């Protein structure tokens, strides 16, 4: 498949980055990578699109030899983890929705120049109402009961007009995981752009990793991404993709 040629003046062509990025299973032990550059790539990952700009994510950059060894074990010592120079754990924080909503409200007030909300313009009023009223309705739940109540109400309203239907607790978990997955992909493309390689791993013991990182109960691990510089044998075979015509549907 031919990727469009989108220029990036500060690095490779975007086409080159997309085609060069592979899931690397073995890294070169003689070529260390700079933790500061990896950190910059994580910072670029925070620019990824995410649901309602809630940014319900955290990024744990693991560089210490002791923690890398333990983390590798919790990734079942697969070669992508065992040979990694560094690793990044992508974590969802749906439990922080109240704080993130407030952060957005504070930002709205800041760009509005500290005006009283009653003096906001139309767009500012909409954003203020969105984070003050709609976000709490969307994210609040109690033992899953309120979520199912919302689901039924949305289903009934949906008989008459289009409506957002993801109101259950499980739905909002999916939203949080979709958002951080976008950040993880942005990170991996950023890493390739600077000459570093990565491998996303989902075959992991999430409970032990949570304990290692001392994550709160509400945090959930989306994936672990190992980092390093590839060796030729680190690519397990030629890339295979389903024919584009089979997955592309023009409507």
pLDDT at 3: 45
Residue 243 has pLDDT above 90, yes or no: yes
Q: Is residue 130 part of a domain?
A: yes
φ/ψ of 94, rounded to 5, equals -60, -25
Q: Is the pLDDT of residue 5 over 50?
A: no
Looking at 116, 138, 171, which one is the last position of a domain? 171
**Least confident span in 5-9, 59-63, 159-163, 179-183:** 5-9
Shared domain for 75 and 188, answered yes or no, is yes
> Confidence band (pLDDT; 50, 70, 90) for 166?
confident
- CATH for 190: 3.40.109.10
Angle in degrees, CA 183, 189, 190, rounded to 5: 85
Average of pLDDT values for 63-83?
98
From 148, 171, 194, give the residue that closes a domain.
Answer: 171
Q: Return phi, psi of residue 199, to 5°.
A: -150, 120
User: Please, which pLDDT band fits residue 92 given cuts at 50, 70 and 90?
Assistant: very high
Report whether pLDDT(180) > 80: yes
CB 251 within 8 A of CB 40: no
Shared domain for 184 and 89, answered yes or no, is yes
Please give the backbone phi and psi of residue 124, each rounded to the nearest 5 degrees, phi first. -65, -40
**Strand segments (E) across the chain:** 57-62, 86-92, 197-201, 220-228
Question: What pLDDT was estimated at residue 167?
Answer: 86
Q: In 3D, which of 27, 16, 92 has the Cα closest to residue 59?
A: 92
pLDDT surpassing 80 at residue 37: yes
Establish if 7 belongs to a structural domain: no
Q: What number is the average pLDDT over the span 195-206?
A: 97
Q: Which of 171, 202, 228 is the last residue of a domain?
A: 171
In a domain, 6, yes or no: no
pLDDT of 144 > 90? The answer is no
> Is residue 14 exposed (0-12), middle (13-18) or buried (19+ Cβ within 10 Å)?
middle
Radius of gyration of the chain (CA): 21
Q: Considering its fold, how many domains does the chain have in total?
A: 2
CB 6 within 8 A of CB 212: no
How many percent of the chain have pLDDT more than 90?
Answer: 87
Q: How many CB atoms lie within 10 A of CB 32?
A: 12
Domain housing 207: 20-94+179-247
User: What pLDDT is attached to residue 6?
Assistant: 42
Residue 15 falls inside a structural domain: no
In a domain, 117, yes or no: yes
Position 214 in a domain? yes
Residue 238 confidence (pLDDT) above 50: yes
CA distance 130 to 132: 6
């Amino acid at each position: 498949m031919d990727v469009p040629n989108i220029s990036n003046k500060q690095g490779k062509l975007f086409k080159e980055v997309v085609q060069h990025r592979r899931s690397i299973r073995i890294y070169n032990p003689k070529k260390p990578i700079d933790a500061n550059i990896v950190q910059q790539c994580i910072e670029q990952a925070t620019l990824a699109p995410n649901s309602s700009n809630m940014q319900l994510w955290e990024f744990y950059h693991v560089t210490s030899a002791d923690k890398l060894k333990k983390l590798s074990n919790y990734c079942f010592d697969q070669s992508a983890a065992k040979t990694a120079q560094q690793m990044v754990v992508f974590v969802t924080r749906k439990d922080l929705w109240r704080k993130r909503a407030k952060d957005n409200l504070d930002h709205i007030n800041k760009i509005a120049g500290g005006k009283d909300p009653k003096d906001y313009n139309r767009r500012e009023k909409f954003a203020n109402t969105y984070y003050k009223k709609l976000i709490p309705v969307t994210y609040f739940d109690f033992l899953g009961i309120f979520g199912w109540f919302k689901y039924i109400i949305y289903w009934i309203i949906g008989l008459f007009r289009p409506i957002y239907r993801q109101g259950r607790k499980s739905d909002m978990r999916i939203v949080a995981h979709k958002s951080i997955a976008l950040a993880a992909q942005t990170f991996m493309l950023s890493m390739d752009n600077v000459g570093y390689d990565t491998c996303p791993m989902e075959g992991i013991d999430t409970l032990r990793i949570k304990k290692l990182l001392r994550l709160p109960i509400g945090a959930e691990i989306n994936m672990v991404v190992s980092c390093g510089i590839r060796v030729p044998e680190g690519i397990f075979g030629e890339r295979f993709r389903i024919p584009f015509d089979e997955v592309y549907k023009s409507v």
